[in-house]
C-alpha cells in the first residue's frame, strides 16, 4: 500500500524542495507551456503561479494585453504570452495559469500561460543546434530534452524591458 503523507509533511517537503531549487547549488528551471511552445524560466526569475482571477479589461490595448488582475490587493498587468508572440489567445480557464514574473524586477506583471509543467533540471537539456537562431530577443537559448522536444529558455529581464512588451496601448 502506498505511504500516506500528512498535509504538514507534504508542505514541509515542498518547502524543502523549493529551497533546494533556489539555492546556488542547483539551478532549477520552471517549465511552462504558452500556446504551442514549451518554455523554461529560471526559478529566481519566476514568481508565484496561480489560477487566473477575474481580469479587468483595459480599453485601447492590444488583444495580447488581457487586462489587470487583483492578486491579494496588488494589481498586476496580465500579458497573454502566446498571443504576444503572434500565437492564439490563451483561454483563462482550465489549466491556464498566471505566472507573476515581474515582482523581482520591480514590475507588477504576470504572464498568462497555457499550463505549468513543473520543475526541470538544467542537466536534462542539451543545446538545440538544428533549430537555428531565434529572432526574439527574450529567447536566451533553444534546448532539447531527452524526448527530443524543443524548449525555449526565457530571459525575463529582457522580455520585461523590450519596447514591444512595454507598449501595450494601441497606437
Residue 39 and residue 151 in contact, taking contact as beta carbons nearer than 8 Å: yes
What is the structure's pLDDT at 27?
61
Percent of the chain with pLDDT over 70: 88
What is the structure's pLDDT at 41?
96
Percent of the chain with pLDDT over 90: 71
Measured CA distances, 82 to 72, 86, 110, 138, 140 (Å): 25, 7, 13, 13, 17
- The tens digit of pLDDT for each residue in 48-83 reads 999 999 999 999 999 999 999 999 999 999 999 999
For 60-93, give the DSSP string.
Answer: TB-TTEEEEEEETTEEEEEEEHHHHTT-PPPPSS
- The arrangement of secondary structure in 28-166, i.e. its CATH architecture, is Beta Barrel (2.40)
Domains in the chain: boundaries: 28-166
Strands lying side by side in the sheet with 65-71: 49-50, 97-100, 109-113, 74-80, 65-71, 55-56
- The tens digit of pLDDT for each residue in 29-53 reads 999 999 999 999 999 898 899 999 9
Residue 142 neighbours by CB under 8 Å, 6+ apart: 127, 128, 131, 134, 150, 151, 152, 153
Strands 65-71 and 74-80 come out as antiparallel
Q: Which alpha helices (H) appear in the chain, and where do they start and end? A: 7-22, 81-84, 156-161, 163-166
Rounded Cα–Cα distance for residues 39 and 150 (Å):
9
> Quick check: 2 pLDDT over 60?
no
- C-alpha cell belonging to residue 36: 504551442
> Quick check: 124 pLDDT over 90?
yes
Instruction: Tell me what the mean pLDDT of segment 115-135 comes to.
Output: 89
- C-alpha cell belonging to residue 138: 527574450
Rounded Cα–Cα distance for residues 133 and 78 (Å):
28
This prediction's pTM: 0.82
- C-alpha cell belonging to residue 28: 532549477
Helix, strand, coil % over all residues of the chain, rounded to 5: 20, 35, 45
The least confident of 1-15, 103-117, 139-153 is 1-15
Amino acid at each position: 500500500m502506498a505511504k500516506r503523507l500528512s498535509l504538514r509533511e507534504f508542505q514541509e517537503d515542498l518547502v524543502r524542495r523549493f529551497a533546494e531549487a533556489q539555492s546556488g547549488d542547483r539551478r532549477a528551471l520552471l517549465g511552462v507551456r504558452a500556446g504551442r511552445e514549451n518554455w523554461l524560466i529560471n526559478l529566481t526569475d519566476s514568481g508565484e503561479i496561480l489560477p487566473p482571477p477575474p481580469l479587468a479589461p483595459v480599453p485601447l490595448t492590444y488583444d495580447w494585453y488581457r487586462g489587470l488582475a487583483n492578486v491579494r490587493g496588488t494589481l498586476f498587468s496580465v500579458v497573454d504570452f502566446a498571443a504576444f508572440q503572434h500565437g492564439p489567445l490563451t483561454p483563462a480557464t482550465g489549466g491556464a495559469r498566471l505566472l507573476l514574473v515581474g515582482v523581482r524586477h520591480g514590475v507588477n506583471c504576470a504572464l498568462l500561460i497555457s499550463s505549468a509543467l513543473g520543475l526541470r533540471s538544467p542537466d536534462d537539456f542539451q543545446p538545440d543546434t538544428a533549430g537555428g537562431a531565434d529572432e526574439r530577443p527574450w529567447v536566451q537559448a533553444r534546448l532539447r530534452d531527452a524526448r527530443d522536444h524543443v524548449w525555449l529558455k526565457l530571459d525575463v529581464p529582457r522580455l520585461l524591458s523590450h519596447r514591444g512588451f512595454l507598449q501595450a496601448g494601441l497606437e
